[in-house]
Copies of this chain bind each other. A is one copy, B any other.
Amino acid sequence: MKKIYLDNAATSNPKPPSVISAVNNYLQNICSSPGRGGYFLGLEAGRVVFDTRQKLKQLFNAPSEEYVIFTPNVTYALNFALLGVLKPGDHVITTSMEHNSVIRPLRYLEQTRKIALNIIQCNKKGELDPEQIKKAIKPTTKMIIMTHASNVTGGIMPVETLHDLKEYTDAMLVVDAAQTAGVLEIDFKKLDLDFLCFTGHKALYGPPGTGGMVISPRAAKILAPSVHGGTGSRSDVELQPDFMPDKMEAGTPNTAGIAGLNAGLNFILEKGVENIHQHEMQLTRTFVNGLQQIPGISIWGPKDMDKMVSTVSITVEGRDLSELAFSLDADYGIMIRSGLHCSPLGHKTIGTFPEGTLRFSFGYFNTEEEVIYSIEALNQLTAD
């Protein structure tokens, strides 16, 4: 039986061969602590890390390399932004399409730091009206945080409208690019963001254990570190250094993963973000068109290729979703996810809580044939 991986919104699979060989090469030939040993291999490890920062700076148009910070995954980046900025009494605006990596730390801060939280309700398609954000702004608004694209519907949020809000507020502007870094063009400086949080192991094609954030100079000034420890810098002092990126990067980093991420970034910079996106949206278009011919299938989200990335959530009338996911895997070799995808609020918004959805998410390595095979599989399964 053929095997078709359609869970790229969780992690991309396969990885480009260059990513796997970069990790292998690092573990085989370098494998030293960066910035800690002055010998050749230690410097080489430091060079891998710095070169990856430079590539991320290029991809996202970051203000400088020092404002590109590595974290273990995007969840840590989002937590570092929230926990490192918000203080008691601060007001935060977010949306009802967020992942639990935003909602859970915010709920925690509501309980422990008495922040005030305003969750803007999106419509049944998961779409956000930017006017609602503007209306919610208060003098105490310290942060506006939203996902760039929903991991449930694939719907793209209007992050390009955020910088217009600077006329009305000094709030920190934070974007969760877990689902978009690598497939949508993101210009940090043009968007006028303060935090862009990204993961390495999804559409940047790096290994798990990688991710990070780009921050603005003004964010760098107020951001408190969440983890304290050895940085290989200012080892004479008993407090975390106050310069970036060391302030936010304690302990030995995942250098092998970063070496792989470097190769993933090369892959993207060579293919071109726009070309990757076009390919994925062609697959998504075929899939959505095919699904619309199958009776009993509901597609949740925008259903408009200009308003979404390559993630499609569906339900099937009268059918148990986890049973369908099991059959797709066991009988057709199609790997997808069923359930809530760590976004209970998103499902409440679109009306699929608590059952959730079947989620199909396409990556650069998927083909038109795989999509057609998947439509055929759904056709057969739902006809049973």
Which residues in A have some Cβ–Cβ distance to B below 8 Å?
5, 7, 10-11, 13-15, 19-20, 23-24, 27-28, 31-33, 36-42, 72-76, 78-79, 99-101, 103-105, 107-108, 199, 201, 207-209, 211, 225-232, 235-240, 250-257, 260, 322, 325-326, 328-329, 335-345, 353-354
Alpha-carbon distance between A229 and B344 when the two chains are bound, in angstroms? 12
Q: Chain B contacts of A201 at CB under 8 A? A: 252
- Cα distance A38–B285 in the bound complex, in angstroms: 26
Taken together as a complex, chains A and B put the C-alpha atoms of A336 and B38 apart, in Å, by 8
Q: Which 9 A-B pairs have the closest CB atoms?
A: A209-B254, A75-B251, A230-B342, A101-B229, A75-B229, A104-B228, A235-B340, A72-B72, A39-B335
B residues near A225, Cβ cutoff 8 Å: 108
Cβ-defined contact, B252 with A254, below 8 A: no
- CB closest chain-B residue, reference A151: B230
Q: Which chain B residue has the least Cβ–Cβ distance from A343? A: B235
| Residues of chain B with a CB closer than 8 A to A226's CB | 79, 226-227
Verify B238–A344 contact, CB threshold 8 A: yes
- Residue of chain B at shortest CB distance from A72: B72
Measured CA separation A10–B252 after assembly (Å): 8
A76→B201 CA distance, assembly (Å): 20
Q: Do residues A11 and B32 form an inter-chain contact, with CB atoms below 8 A?
A: yes
* Interface contact B36-A10, CB-CB below 8 Å: yes
A326 CB contacts on chain B under 8 angstroms: 38
Given A42-B7, A251-B75, also A100-B230 (CB < 8 A): yes
- The answer to whether A256 and B207 touch across the interface, beta carbons within 8 angstroms, is yes
CB distance from A184 to the nearest CB of B (A): 20
The reply to whether B23 and A230 contact each other, CB–CB distance below 8 Å, is no
By a CB distance below 8 angstroms, the chain B residues around A335 are 32, 37, 39-42
**Interface-centre pick from A38, A42, A240 (highest chain B CB count, 10 A):** A38
Most buried by B among A40, A209, A329: A209
**Bound-state Cα–Cα, A199 to B226, Å:** 19
What are the residues of chain B within 8 A of A24 when measuring CB–CB?
20, 23-24
CA–CA, A82 and B40, complex, Å? 35
Task: Please name 19 pairs of A and B residues whose Cβ atoms are closer than 8 Å in the assembled complex, sorted by A.
Answer: A13-B31, A31-B208, A32-B335, A36-B337, A38-B322, A38-B329, A39-B336, A40-B335, A73-B251, A73-B252, A73-B253, A75-B251, A76-B250, A79-B228, A79-B250, A208-B255, A209-B256, A232-B342, A235-B341
11 A-B pairs besides A38-B325, A75-B252, A235-B344 with CB distance below 8 A are: A20-B24, A37-B335, A40-B335, A42-B337, A73-B253, A101-B230, A108-B239, A208-B255, A209-B253, A230-B342, A236-B353
| Closest beta carbon of chain B to A359's beta carbon, Å | 10
Q: Would A254 and B251 be within 8 Å (CB), given that A104-B239, A236-B344, A239-B107 are in contact?
A: no
A336 and B31 alpha carbons, distance in the complex (Å):
14
A79 touches B229 (CB 8 A): yes
**Given the complex, which residues of B lie within 8 Å of A237, measured CB to CB?**
344
A252 touches B344 (CB 8 A): no
Q: Could you tell me if B104 and A229 are in contact, using CB atoms closer than 8 angstroms?
A: yes
Closest chain B residue to A9 by CB distance? B33
Cβ contact within 8 Å between A336 and B238? no
